[in-house]
C-alpha cells in the first residue's frame, strides 16, 4: 500500500529529526515542516 510506504518514509525522517534538540516550539515546527518535505520526496 502507498500509505504504508509513506509511513515508513515518515518514520525514518522523524528518527533523523530526533537527533535535533526540539525543546523550542520553533524547533518543533521546523522539524515538522522538514518531515513534511521529506514525505513529499
- Residue 28 CA to residue 3 CA, distance in Å, equals 24
Q: In the structure, what pLDDT confidence band is assigned to residue 18 with cuts at 50, 70 and 90?
A: low
Q: What is the pLDDT of residue 37?
A: 73
**DSSP 8-state assignment for residue 1:** -
Q: Parse the chain into domains and list their residue ranges.
A: 5-40
Nearest partner of 17 among 2, 37, 3, judged by Cα: 37
Question: For residue 9, what are the contacts with CB-CB under 8 A and spacing of at least 6?
Answer: 38, 39, 41
Q: Which residue has the cell 516550539?
A: 25
User: Residue 41 above 60 pLDDT?
Assistant: no
The pTM of the whole model exceeds 0.75: no
- Residue 5 CA to residue 26 CA, distance in Å, equals 28
Amino acid at each position: 500500500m502507498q500509505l504504508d510506504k509513506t509511513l515508513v518514509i515518515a518514520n525514518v525522517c522523524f528518527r533523523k529529526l530526533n537527533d535535533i534538540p526540539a525543546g523550542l516550539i520553533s524547533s518543533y515546527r521546523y522539524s515538522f515542516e522538514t518531515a513534511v518535505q521529506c514525505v513529499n520526496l
